[in-house]
Structure 1
Amino acid sequence: MARSSATDRRFLEKHGGQWRVTVAVPRDLHDRMPTRLKRPLHTDSLAVANRLKWPVIAELKAEIDRARGGTVKAKHIQDALEMAEMLRKAKTEEEREAIREGIMISGEAMLGPLYKRGEDPHIGEPIYEHHPEREAAAGEFVRVALGKYTLVDLHHGAYLESLTVKPRTQADDVRAMKHLKAWCKREGVEPSLQAINRKAAVRFMDALPQLAKGLSPVTLNKYLRRLSRYWQWLERREEVDANVWHGLTLPEPETPHDEEERPFSGDEMRRLLTGETTQHMHDLMRIAALTGARIDVIVSLKVRDCEGGVFVFKPQKKEKKERITPIHSSLEPIIERRTKGKSLDDDLFPEWPPVKKAGSMRERSFKASNQFTEYRRSVGVDDVIPGKRRSLVNFHSFRRWFITTAERADQPEHIIAAVVGHKRSGMTLGRYSAGPLVEQARRCVEAVKLPSLESEASPREQQAPHEEEAA
């Protein structure tokens, strides 16, 4: 049943024939505050009490925030959001009007007293005004509470929780929003969904290279794409009318052929596979070289993911389900050693445990990747181009090497794609190592051989290592 100002008892209770405001104190503050804060309104009219209660509620909540150490900024926005939700749920115009009146009363209360700014030079009379910060906060409170102003990142947390992307991509979402809010502050643009129209989006795009100095257009376009995805999510929920970021991209310079990331050469593979490092790094490199798998899915393997002669890799990129890759015969001793005496839920690589910090966006493989980079450089495997952040050879070069070697062994392209998880149509490998497709995949994997670790690089490898390219 709809509540009106004559029936709404939220935050109110009767005491001695008159109404008073009552606000619950969170349980974690009960050691220093009463369980409820109360303030009399000195009226026996419920309708009047509903008009008077809002600024009192705001004051009591401010007292709670001070006890917790909360900021004024967080408090007034939180209160405004609560008021906006009440206004949205109101069932009658009478109830809506009472809440709107309460919003205006609360906004006026936030202004505080006038103070003397100076004197009028012409007539010598004092000039009084509200404190600028209080005035700005009060205006923001009223606009948010009335639904005329939606903070640009209000729904961003819910959006991030809905994503099924890698932590690295979520970190791009966070950085993109950080840059957008910084630009709003610099340009004096209201950081609201209502203020970010197509024109503002274009201005932000043009300013982004200066906001994020030193980053390549490729990285900056990732930020624009992440903002576009957020706006698409908002559009589906009717929080915005349209995706203002659609089609906005910065021009990206073409990468010369000899500056593209590439597979390891045979000589580089020999250096990596014979260098002095830990046993778990050697195991990691060999699994990468003989599966074409990405580093994070390897480091995340459990003992149960290595049964029945296949690896079960967790989904990556745009994969919708786990991926099956036959275990190369050369890897069987490694798997047997790493699984012996362990339970099915134990990690295959306990040397690189999951990130413990709550809320961290780092992948489990973060430390493994850094350690590999340090090791790779220590054995002289590097290919740095001036102006490029990443070496042209990196851990992903094992994946490129696997694909290139399988192609040179005349393996069917669609089978290679199935093994490494590239986008393809048609059949996918089953969960168990049976059936013709899995046998084809096994032949593909076995066709890839590690280079002889005793021999030197061939003349071709010495002269043209960049020819070893992979999709």
Structure 2
Amino acid sequence: MDMTHLTHRAGLYYVRFIVPKDRWQDVGKVLNSSTGLRRDILKSLQTRHYKEALKLRDAALNTIRQEINHKLIQAGFSPLHGHAVPDWMDEAQFLQEALKARQALQIASTVEDDQGTEDWPFSESPRDRLLEGMECFLEDQAYRMDQAGQNGQAYASRFEEIALGQHTPFALILDRWMRDRESSTSHSSQSLDRATLNHFARYLAHSKGLEEPEDLMAFLRQQVVEEIPPRVLGGFVEWLMDVQGLSVKTASNRVTPLKVMWDFAIQKHLLPKPNPWMGATAGLKQRANRQKIRLRPFSEEELMALLKADPDEGRRWNWGSAIYDLMRLALLTGARQNELASLTVDRVMTDPHSKGVLWGIRITDQEAKTRNAVRSIPLHPLIQPIIARRLKAADQSNPNAPLFPECKPGGPGEKRSYYFAKRFPVFRRDVLGVQSDKLVDFHSFRRNFITFFERANAHGVSACTEMVRDRLVGHESRSLAGNTYAAQDLGWDLCTDAILGLVEKGMPQEVVEVLRE
């Protein structure tokens, strides 16, 4: 759970704005702190819901920052970002006005026209006239700010640098890009974005020989894109792996949001081409594949040991039932960990389209990993009692009631498998030993499902085709015909025959007997 700048008290969520250490005294003075210092500011978001608090967090932090800056400027101090703006204009508004000026100058014609007069008998282009107007405005504004005791020249210089495309503060890009991401990407993707931006801010401070900023995002917003040398950008991936200790795959994933953000900024004419992150991860995929540990299905002996073991034996926790049930469901459905942990009452099919066939479960687009993972899976009679028991214990009047309420949401994507994924390895190590870490994991049940499916096909189960297998496990079909032309729903009866055939002809009889116990 991402609680950065958030705290939870008496059922309500609060946003916590952290004041930079070198400004504690200034902020304490303008806020009339009794100690003369102010380290942070806490304000209620007036919500009890975590997801709503996440949505409100950034806007609340920005509002607090603007209020503090306004009071600092009134008291004669520089704002927290170190930039001088009029007391009637906050940082966001200043950047917006400078961006408008930049966009107007970019599209203005540079072709001179004949609009001279007797007093000014020179030809000018539309862009020249815009520049002249901007300079007059800035000169006037700087004078008024100087009269008010503010640094008018600093304001005018910064405005002009942004308008002319010489300086692009990250704040200018971040505000627009993050608004776009909120409307078009999942919560887990936005969490990855924030992790990347925090790493990038930490890296920029490191490259300048600075200590790590207390507020990484505030520091990043201050940085000017044009002032970052290409060699510094080029060293980011190495720093992630050599200094931060990230794996090759994770380091590569950290670069992707930066590439996407730069593409967005180029598309919106905030930055010029080319994108400096193009090719930044070249060779990393091959390197990651060389380092990648190839996990396998459980052996028959390992499956027997796991299925026979008591998950609650010797442990003071409430995960035994979930481990017992989810192992069996994963083995006989091929579903992913989070797909099963997220099951709700309305995703259980107790009355499928054909009479006399199996119950089923539905994987919807809310928990599906990809578009192809949205599917329905029949439940073999060996595991149907598990779902029946879970349904009976759930609040069936609520369609969204979870079948696994012990699997609380957590992590960046608020997934119900988050905490379970930390508990199952403990159980697995106790049963199979720590040496199993580099050989198998919970996903190995899914590998077993596919292995048994292939065995059933080899033993003559006509329903266990490659296309049916791909539909049941939620994979994209390798064949063009299967992926493009074949129906997504191949029929409940066919899928039922495949599940029954998998157990009858593909699964070792000893494992079947343990499942019947």
Residues 128-180 of structure 1: CA deviation (Å, up to 9, x unaligned): xxxxxxx999987875687632216444532542453462x544332322222
Contact conserved, 1:83 with 1:145, CA < 8 A, in 2?
no
Q: Is 2:376 aligned against 1:324?
A: yes
Q: Is 2:339 aligned against 1:297?
A: yes
1:207 corresponds, among 220, 239, 260, to: 239
2:248 corresponds, among 213, 217, 224, to: 217
Distance 1:62 1:98, change over 3 A: farther
Q: Is 2:188 aligned against 1:150?
A: no
Distance 1:395 1:59, change over 3 A: closer
Tell me the residue number matched to 1:367.
419
Give the distance between the partners of 2:234 and 2:99, measured in 1 at CA. Answer: 32
Secondary structure of the corresponding residue to residue 448 of structure 1: helix
Tell me the residue number matched to 1:348.
403
Q: How does 1:227-238 map to 2 (within 5 A)?
A: 227-238=258-269
1:396 corresponds, among 443, 446, 459, to: 443
Deviation at 1:98, TM superposition (A): 5.8
Distance 1:79 1:294, change over 3 A: same
Deviation at 1:421, TM superposition (A): 0.9
Counterpart code for 1:158: R
Secondary structure of the corresponding residue to residue 72 of structure 1: coil
Deviation at 1:412, TM superposition (A): 1.5
Contact conserved, 1:417 with 1:423, CA < 8 A, in 2?
yes
TM-score by length of 1: 0.64
Deviation at 1:295, TM superposition (A): 1.1
Secondary structure of the corresponding residue to residue 379 of structure 1: helix
Distance 1:153 1:303, change over 3 A: same
Give the distance between the partners of 1:408 and 1:109, measured in 2 at CA. Answer: 85
Q: Is 2:193 aligned against 1:173?
A: yes
Contact conserved, 2:182 with 2:190, CA < 8 A, in 1?
no
Cα root mean square deviation, aligned? 4.2
Deviation at 1:109, TM superposition (A): 9.0
Secondary structure of the corresponding residue to residue 330 of structure 1: coil
Deviation at 1:85, TM superposition (A): 1.5
Give the distance between the partners of 1:258 and 1:321, measured in 2 at CA. Answer: 24
Secondary structure of the corresponding residue to residue 476 of structure 2: coil
Contact conserved, 1:271 with 1:381, CA < 8 A, in 2?
no
Contact conserved, 1:159 with 1:233, CA < 8 A, in 2?
no
Q: How does 1:98-117 map to 2 (within 5 A)?
A: 100-101=138-139, 104=142
Counterpart code for 1:181: A
Distance 1:60 1:352, change over 3 A: closer
Counterpart code for 2:223: P
Q: Is 2:387 aligned against 1:335?
A: yes
Residues 229-275 of structure 1: CA deviation (Å, up to 9, x unaligned): 33333333333334321222254447579941111111111122121
Tell me the residue number matched to 2:361.
311
Give the distance between the partners of 1:317 and 1:300, measured in 2 at CA. Answer: 12
Deviation at 1:303, TM superposition (A): 0.8
Deviation at 1:455, TM superposition (A): 8.1
Which runs of 5 or more structure 1 residues have no equivalent in the other structure?
1-27, 30-57, 114-134, 385-389, 431-435, 457-471
- Give aligned pairs, total: 364
Tell me the residue number matched to 2:493.
439
Residues 71-91 of structure 1: CA deviation (Å, up to 9, x unaligned): 723986993331131344579
Give the distance between the partners of 1:196 and 1:375, measured in 2 at CA. Answer: 48
Distance 1:298 1:247, change over 3 A: same
Counterpart code for 1:305: R
Tell me the residue number matched to 2:471.
418
Deviation at 1:428, TM superposition (A): 4.8
Q: Is 2:204 aligned against 1:184?
A: yes
Counterpart code for 2:432: G
Counterpart code for 2:426: E
1:274 corresponds, among 297, 301, 308, to: 308
Which range moves more in the overlay, 78-87 or 322-331? 78-87
Secondary structure of the corresponding residue to residue 228 of structure 1: helix
Secondary structure of the corresponding residue to residue 383 of structure 2: helix
Q: How does 1:19-38 map to 2 (within 5 A)?
A: none
Tell me the residue number matched to 1:248.
280
Give the distance between the partners of 1:186 and 1:111, measured in 2 at CA. Answer: 35
Counterpart code for 1:400: R
Residues 13-63 of structure 1: CA deviation (Å, up to 9, x unaligned): xxxxxxxxxxxxxxx99xxxxxxxxxxxxxxxxxxxxxxxxxxxx999521
Give the distance between the partners of 1:87 and 1:256, measured in 2 at CA. Answer: 48
Deviation at 1:366, TM superposition (A): 0.7
Give the distance between the partners of 2:68 and 2:290, measured in 1 at CA. Answer: 64
Q: Is 2:71 aligned against 1:63?
A: yes
Counterpart code for 1:188: K
Contact conserved, 1:80 with 1:142, CA < 8 A, in 2?
no
Contact conserved, 1:231 with 1:242, CA < 8 A, in 2?
no
TM-score by length of 2: 0.59
Contact conserved, 1:183 with 1:211, CA < 8 A, in 2?
no
Distance 1:102 1:412, change over 3 A: farther
Deviation at 1:311, TM superposition (A): 1.4
Residues 195-226 of structure 1: CA deviation (Å, up to 9, x unaligned): 4576543232343322322x221221121223
Contact conserved, 2:296 with 2:440, CA < 8 A, in 1?
yes
Secondary structure of the corresponding residue to residue 406 of structure 2: coil
Which range moves more in the overlay, 281-290 or 421-430? 421-430
Counterpart code for 1:291: T
Give the distance between the partners of 1:65 and 1:163, measured in 2 at CA. Answer: 37
Give the distance between the partners of 2:438 and 2:144, measured in 1 at CA. Answer: 58
Counterpart code for 2:270: E
Contact conserved, 2:249 with 2:288, CA < 8 A, in 1?
no
Distance 1:236 1:146, change over 3 A: closer
Larger-gyration structure (1/2): 1
